[in-house]
Structure 1
Amino acid sequence: MSGKWQRAAAMGKRPVRIANCSGYHGDPAEEMYRQASLGDIDFITGDYLAGKFTSSAVKVLIKLTYLKEVNMAGNAQAYAAGKHPGWEETAWQGLQQSIEIIAEKGIKVALNGGALNPKGLAEKVANLVRERGLDLKVCFISGDDLRHVLSPTMPKDLKKLPKHLDSDNSSVKQPPERHPFLKHDMPVVSANAYMGARGIVEAFKRGADVIICGRCSDASPVIAGAWYWHSWKETDYNELAGCLVAGHLIECSAYVTGGNFAGFDKFSQDIFVRPGFPIAEVDDDGSCVITKHETTGGMINIDTVRCQLLYELQGNVYLHSDTKAYLDNVTVMEVGKDRVRVVGIRGKPPPPTTKFAIFYRGGYECQLLLNATGYATAQKWDLLERQLREILGESVKDFETLEFQSDRIGVPSINPRTQNSSTTYLRIFAEAATEETLKRVAQALGKISLKHFSGFHSSLDFRTAVPRPFIAYYPAIYPQDSIIEEVIFVNENDQLEKPISAGHPPRYEDLENRVSYDTINPVKFSGSTRQIRLGDIALARSGDKGSNLNFGLFVQTVKQWDWLRSFMSRAQMRRLLGDDDRDEYFIERVEFPHIFAVHFVIYGILGRGVSSSSRLDGFGKGFADFIRDVMVDVPEVVLQDAIC
């Protein structure tokens, strides 16, 4: 029998093998071909939009502005004006390279690379299929674009704003300064609902081979593949929740195979030069094994899986349009080389709303990076800030943000051996509604001229001081039943067939109050302690969820776990934050005892979040290694239990 028929006969009788080929738009297009050709798989999925940028429009705008350094205000309308295709180029390139082997092996494909224009990419793929004489059915999913439900500009009345993503958490307050559109006209760029898996499943049931999505959630294509393969019911919440976690684990491509891995320094660097991309083998109960093709680089072990599991969570409940996944009892175990099984996920009906990502033109931003060498560095930066503020005077009130990031960047070496090791830099970050306002920062610096402190200099590249337009993010929620999700096939004549409704979840369940607690039964250790870096005993990962930052860390043994859960309280988290802590930050904490992990969400620390965060690490990716670098006192008896 051919590969297609062998696969059809196996459906539901063995775990389905789902290979991810992309975690964001910059992953090489060739990874799709590698996943298809290096071994047996049943589905290829790809996430080209990435949680860190959230909206498909953002991807287009960032590529056109930040990478090509052209005016974003014009590029925001590029797709509408017919000057940009709207879909992700690497998704198209991957399909061009892989379409024959996809057809030969009978692999089914679901990608969110349609971005702003899934219809356009689907038509292009259908034409490619026809040109190459292949027998593949192509369709796209519509319904995520909700710009029509908003006014052209962001409302100046908070009561007219869509409900904020954190609005049901009474402990979280949204400061007015995070809503500059209340004072200025700021046009909406994009507004997309996160779509679930049901539309993709319906397409598979109708015979689709290649499905092009817009803003479906990162894990939806993976869920859909397993849902279709195992013929789950839409009320099989445990199974759907287990597969949601499988999708979460492989959606970021190499993040589970060695990329962004906190423990990389304990292994040969050769392993991490070119990590392969992951595969999820999903059983009929929703549990999974995370693996990869044998011939690819990187590695998969309990620690790489725990790191990715803890990435971009919002506590112990992972929300999706088709289910809620409860992670309290999640367990991971190695079952072979580069094979880790994940079990223990419990599911419940989904919430009645889904995430609604709204991006708008936030005005203009700039940053100045200024260097200081050597002696009396702190006093030098204090003097510079006083000089600039003196020149700016009353115009400071016209800025939305003006930060002389007072923690400075770097610390001069003691008894330095080179000038570079004696040099630090100050980051001045500013945002304003108009370009003219921001220009005053560079003008003020120019007026200081030769009045600067001793040891002052700047790099040759001063372009970041030039104001550039940026997009700002407003994370909201939207009623699922108000979304019209449809499957539309492109036939052999390049005509669109009649839309097929994907329907809505049969049942919803509101999310209960978010859980947050310190450990129930802390353990006290006697004896001496030793001061070490937290990272000497714990691995971790951090990431962003809009204006919030998540941070999970874990250890290796029972004794280390007793210490970690007892030590890492919410109050301790604030102490470790040091000068970065603010009274307005709300901190949630939960535990995952079967993987020896403590997880935190720090609300508000990323400001407005995503592209408009004023933090140097606006996506929170470096936060985990900052905390791991802090010195802590650990009992000797715990350290003797094997340092990881």
Structure 2
Amino acid sequence: MRYQAELGDVDFIRGDYLAEVNVAENAQAHAAGHHPGWEQTCWDGIEQTIYLLAEKRIKVVVNGGAHNLKGLAEKVQRLVSRKGLHLEVAYVSGDNLIEEMKDIRSKGLPPHLDSNNGEVQYANHTLDLMEKENKPIISANAYLGAVADTSPVIGAAWYWYSWSDTDYDRLAGALIVGHLIECSGYVTGSNFSGFTEYNLDHLYDITFGIADVEEHGTCVITKHDAKKGFITEDTVKCQFLYELQGNVYLNSDVKAIMDDVQAQRQEGKNRVRLLGIKGAPPPPTTKLAIFYNAGYQSEIVINATGYGTLEKFDLYERMIRFGLKRLGIHDQFDILEFRRIGIPESNPSSQLRSTTYLRILAESGDPKTNLGLASLLGEFAMQHFSGFHSTSDHHTAIPRPDISYYPAIYPQVQLKTSINILESSKSGTAIGTTSIPTTPPPRFEELTKCASYDTASSIPLESFGPTKPARIGDVVLARSGDKGANANIGFFVPTFLPTSYPPSSPLFAQSWGWLRSFLTIARLKEMMGESWDDAFYVERVEFPGIMAVHFVVYGVLGMGVSGSSRLDSFAKGMGDWLRDIVVEVPVAFLEGRRDHKTERQRL
């Protein structure tokens, strides 16, 4: 925060400090009195920057108040008073619905976020919150307009340009602007799949993105010249494709329709314009993130090296399952998984290249069941396969509380929200509050089934000439992320990598024709290989203006967020895994990229 204020001229600093997982983790600690309820890094940023905010008249819009917005706001107000600064402090309330959700057994469970999609199968245990006893809710927070996730940018631009609450195209443009700069340095080089073609020393100690929001909702994404990082069409495309729901981005204020999105490099360094976003009235519901105590979780990790690794893990799994059955607890787990991570290198040049591991994940409603599993580590300590070793602390086998996630929808008209403006007494000791109730959006538009299609005008793949086996990532970039139980993956033709062909090259347009024709729903399932399950459901859309094919894979993350048993529970690595899959790639595209490397490096 201090860098953004210190290094150049900005009107607003916005900050999104809340991932659903840390909301859940902190809720329980706050309720027990072990956590202040707000995000400490948010307070740190404000405290470090307070004099600059006052000097430069920079407005700050953040959601770091988390479970204790009032507490953080009052702490900031006391800081302002103590420093003798003339700054106003306010907070928004009404997102916390924990009291309304405590009686779900009598009132009913709110609809699931994916309930309007009849093709989606819920993961096992999704409805445990309702169907099983002893699953107490620990937090329930609704996404509010103009303050949640990407929305602070809507609030800032709305205020700056005095927009109407029905200026849907403008609001939608600002929503996607917020999406682009929401995730720290993700638009300035972090989490960028094209990083391997850049100087690695340019990819750390980076500053975050800045959005020059224009009156019609379009924007230019840029950054301070100081420090490292960079902004290109490719970093903007990567972040645009992160955690999308499809071609429509839902928000409490507006729906953003993104089919015609474009990213255009502007004159000057680190400047990319985003345009083409259309808007429509928001849905009548908003997202409600419910977290609850699902029971207890244990994790055991063991290593194996070299010869007979498959048989070693077979032996260990059989032994543990035998022990659990003898204790009479094998079938008492909600989840009991034996996941094999990695494959030992053939003819390894070192022991590390030969070592892989087995991850045992167990969840149950009774900690005694998990303790039974932990007891087997001692009982069978000297009955193991050859070369057995472990680098993990066996304390991870001791049961710890497991927090699970239920994503719901909630009617916007039932929210009771307000703006609360603080004011200190002359002595600075007492803090008064003026509360102003807010109202829901004036118009709603019912949700419709998400778009999904293979390309409308497929080009015969043989028309692109001879092919050879290559990783699809040799010619396309990707970005993936999580949306609850679902993963999104966007693939696109790079624009400005050192080895990509320039937009003036015929290969640039041809590569888009190939990508959209090649990367069908059926092809994605094929590429997922053993990770595909027929219980999953896929939606596919295209963004021609950025030459991107986008997928949502429903159910692949199980319960989602903290409730997912996947190693990559946020699906951040899914795009890079799929870029490593070998497919038949036209030779012309591979050779064309090499031919243009020298020219790109010069540019």
What is the TM-score with the length of structure 1 in the denominator? 0.87
In structure 2, how many angstroms separate the alpha carbons of the residues matched to 1:495 and 1:412?
Answer: 63
d(CA) in 2 for partners of 1:174, 1:462 = 33
C-alpha distance in 1 between matches for 2:56 and 2:522: 55
Q: State the Cα distance separating 1:460 from its structure 2 match.
A: 5.3
CA deviation after TM superposition for structure 1 residue 492, in Å: 2.2
1:152-191 paired onto structure 2 within 5 Å:
155=105, 160-181=108-129, 182-191=131-140
4+ runs deviating over 6 angstroms: none
Report the Cα distance in structure 2 between the residues aligned to 1:249 and 1:465, rounded to whole angstroms. Answer: 40
1:431 to 363, 368, 373: 363
Corresponding residue of 2:3: 34
SS at match of 1:489: strand
Q: Counterpart of 1:28?
A: none
| CA drift at 1:496 | 3.0
Deviation at 1:293, TM superposition (A): 0.5
Match of 1:142 among 93, 110, 122: 93
**Counterpart for residue 5 of structure 1:** none
Query: In 1, distance between residues paired with 2:433 and 2:307?
Result: 72
Shift of 1:548: 0.5
Aligned pair 1:595/2:546, yes or no? yes
Q: Which of 161, 168, 172 is the aligned partner of 1:241?
A: 172
Counterpart in the other structure of 2:330 = 396
| Ranges in structure 1 where 5+ consecutive residues have no aligned partner | 1-31, 62-75, 198-215
For residues 546 and 320 of structure 1, the distance between their equivalents in structure 2, rounded to whole angstroms, comes to 16
Q: Deviations over 1:506-553 (max 9, x none)?
A: 000012211001111111133321111111111111111111111111
Corresponding residue of 2:232: 301
Asked whether the equivalents of residues 96 and 142 of structure 2 are also in contact (C-alpha less than 8 Å), the reply is yes
Is residue 2–residue 49 contact of structure 2 (8 Å, CA) maintained in 1? yes
Q: Deviations for 1:62-110, whole angstroms, at most 9, x for unmatched residues?
A: xxxxxxxxxxxxxx1x423544321111111111111111111111111
Counterpart residue number, 1:535: 473
Provide the C-alpha distance between the structure 1 equivalents of 2:273 and 2:589, rounded to a whole number of angstroms. Answer: 28
What is the letter of the counterpart of residue 230 of structure 1?
Y
Q: Is the 8 A contact 2:420 2:433 kept in 1?
A: yes
Q: CA deviation at 1:217?
A: 1.6
Deviations 1:287-311 (A, max 9, x none): 0111111112101101100000000
Alignment match of 1:370 (pick from 285, 288, 302): 302
Q: CA deviation at 1:194?
A: 0.3
Counterpart position of 1:518: 454
Please name the residue that 1:66 is paired with.
Answer: none
2:445 partner letter? E
Deviation (angstroms), 1:497 = 2.9
Name the structure 2 match of 1:287.
218
Q: Distance in 1 between matches of 2:375 and 2:214?
A: 62
Paired AA for residue 293 in structure 1? H
Q: Deviations over 1:473-529 (max 9, x none)?
A: 000000001111101111122433331122110000012211001111111133321
Q: Which secondary structure does the structure 2 equivalent of 1:186 belong to?
A: coil
* One-letter amino acid of the counterpart of residue 89, structure 1: Q
Contact 2:185 2:206 (C-alpha < 8 Å) held by counterparts: yes
Number of corresponding residues: 572
Aligned partners of 1:129 and 1:439: how far apart in 2? 51
Q: How far apart are residue 183 of structure 1 and its match?
A: 2.2
Mapping of residues 266-285 of structure 1, within 5 Å:
266-285=197-216
Superposition map of 1:332-347 within 5 A: 332-335=263-266, 336-347=268-279
Give yes or no for contact 2:290–2:405 (8 Å, CA) kept in 1.
Answer: yes
Q: Which residue of 2 aligns with 1:353?
A: 285
1:545 — aligned with what?
483
Of 583, 587, 601, which aligns to 1:636? 587
1:607 to 558, 577, 598: 558
Q: Is the 8 A contact 2:475 2:589 kept in 1?
A: no
Amino acid at match of 1:343: L
What is the alpha-carbon root mean square deviation over aligned residues?
1.6
SS at match of 2:166: coil
Report what 1:254 is aligned to: 185
| CA pair 581-464 structure 1, distance change in 2 beyond 3 A | same
Q: Match of 2:79?
A: 128
Q: Which residue of the partner structure matches residue 498 of structure 2? A: none
Aligned residue for 1:253, secondary structure, equals coil
- Determine the C-alpha separation between the residues in 2 that align with 1:562 and 1:540: 17
Does the 8 Å CA contact 1:49/1:59 hold for their aligned counterparts?
A: no
Matched, 1:470 2:405: no
- TM-score after normalising by structure 2: 0.92
Give the counterpart letter for 1:521 in structure 2: S
Deviates most, 524-533 or 479-488: 524-533
In the alignment, structure 1 residue 414 sits paired with structure 2 residue 359: no
User: 3-state SS of the aligned residue for 1:280?
Assistant: strand
Cα contact 2:154–2:171 (8 A) shared by 1: yes
Give ranges in structure 2 of 5+ residues lacking alignment: 495-507, 598-603
1:136-193 per-residue CA deviation (whole Å, 9 max, x = no partner) reads 11111100001111126x64x8x92111000001111224533333223111110000
